[in-house]
Amino acid sequence: MAKFKFKVLKKDGYARKGLIETKRGNIKTPAFMPIATQGAVKFTPIELIEQIGYELTLSNTYHLLLRPGLERLSKVDGVSEFMGWNKPVLTDSGGFQIMSLSKLRKISEEGVKFQSHIDGTSHFLTPENVIDHQNIIKSDIQMVLDECIQYPESYENVKKSMELSLRWAERSRIHYTKNKSKIYGAQFGIIQGGVFEDLREISVSEIVNLDFEGYAIGGLAVGEGHEKMIEVVNYTAPQLPEDKVRYLMGVGKPNDIIEAVYRGVDIFDCVIPTREGRHGIAYIGSSSINIKNSKFESDLTPLDEGSDYFVSKKYSKSYLNHLLKIKDPLGPMLISLHNLNYYFNLMTDLGMSIEEGRLDTFREDFYKDN
């Protein structure tokens, strides 16, 4: 395994400021990962992602397996080089996408059989082969294969699913450990158990026993809402080892992130800033505006006067409204970039607040502005 280290540099309550060191570069935490599912942050040159200051992106094994395929990725230094990023990449194993995208899937003890949503070809993912795939993709951080269950779901079904994910996690760790000398990236386990505290507790204790390089809280941001999500984070995060990275998958809105950082989570990924940005929603201060709204047609003020980011301070709401109306992808790109810069600043502010022991005040101020 290539270099992978994590240090907590400072704590403020449960919240942590830290540093992940990898062969491809360091990542200051708390950190948000822009989504580059298929090896591209949608609509956006990667140079502009780097310029904002991002140090880690997320790609998806399921998508990359289908396109461009492992053969091509094996010929380059993985997806990070392929996309001209050359910085650390985390890859999801594809479990969630199999549930949400593939035409047909069949889950067995062995793994998941599914048909591509693009061309109908059959694929079979196992806890073992997703490790090999992510090794070809050369992820700096690999996620294990797990079963993603819908919300809401009965206690019994969540329990069964969590237990299957546990058995898969064990197989994952065995396969990874056996091949560690050949494997590029670190491996993160995933805590499941839905919104049931006792199931989460079992999952934490079993997964942590497997001694992964880091731990994710999975199975959230699937419709349970902010309150329930934070409740789960509240009792799950503190049980995870202090010296390992904690990752809350698929989260979230700014207030979700603030509350999770407050409870000790280190890294995040979410489609919100880019997907909502592409639909015209821009985050400003403690809320958001929809640039498509006709009242912005004649609003010649900059997207965000308070920002020093070139997109936010230069382009008027009126111009961005025009770009959305003429359906030029430049509009979605610029608003995405604005949001990604907003999220980056949020993470930086959270880190500084922890550094200076004033996270409580930061939270209060954020909600006061709302």
**Residues in touch with its own copies (CB under 8 A):** 38-45, 47-48, 67-68, 71-72, 75-76, 82-84, 297-298, 300, 310, 314-316, 318-319, 322-323, 325-326, 328-330, 333-334
For the sheet with 4-12, list strands across it.
Answer: 4-12, 15-22, 25-29
Closer to its own copies by CB, 82 or 212: give it.
82
User: From CA 255, how far away is CA 81, in angstroms rounded?
Assistant: 33
Residues with a known catalytic role: 92, 269
User: From CA 102, how far away is CA 148, in angstroms rounded?
Assistant: 13
Closer to its own copies by CB, 2 or 118: give it.
118
Tokens of 270: 């979410």
- Looking at residue 241, its amino acid is P
Q: How far is the CB of 131 from its own copies (least distance, A)?
A: 23
Tokens of 36: 């580059």
Q: How far is the CB of 67 from its own copies (least distance, A)?
A: 6
Closer to its own copies by CB, 38 or 115: give it.
38
Closer to its own copies by CB, 82 or 366: give it.
82
Regarding beta strands 214-217 and 186-191, do their DSSP bridges make them parallel or antiparallel, or are they unpaired?
parallel
With a CB cutoff of 8 Å and minimum separation 6, the contacts of 160 are: none
User: From CA 144, how far away is CA 92, in angstroms rounded?
Assistant: 8
CA 312 to chain centroid, in Å, comes to 24
Q: How far is the CB of 273 from its own copies (least distance, A)?
A: 17
Closer to its own copies by CB, 225 or 329: give it.
329
Q: How far is the CB of 280 from its own copies (least distance, A)?
A: 15
- Looking at residue 128, its amino acid is E
* DSSP SS3 for 97: helix
Closer to its own copies by CB, 268 or 319: give it.
319
Are the C-beta atoms of 302 and 314 separated by less than 8 Å? Answer: yes
User: What long-range pairs does 291-296 form, CB within 8 A, spacing at least 24?
Assistant: 291/317, 291/320, 291/321, 291/324, 291/331, 291/335, 292/321, 292/324, 292/325, 293/321, 296/320, 296/321
Rg value, the chain, Cα: 20
Q: How far is the CB of 340 from its own copies (least distance, A)?
A: 14
User: From CA 213, how far away is CA 186, in angstroms rounded?
Assistant: 6
Q: How far is the CB of 134 from its own copies (least distance, A)?
A: 18
Question: Residue 223: left if φ>0, alpha if ψ -120 to 50, beta else—which one?
Answer: left
* C-alpha angle 330-117-135 in degrees, rounded to nearest 5: 85
Q: Which of 123, 122, 125 is closest to 144 using CA atoms? A: 125
Phi first, then psi: give them for residue 285, nearest 5 degrees.
60, -125
Closer to its own copies by CB, 76 or 174: give it.
76
With a CB cutoff of 8 Å and minimum separation 6, the contacts of 196 are: 155, 158, 159
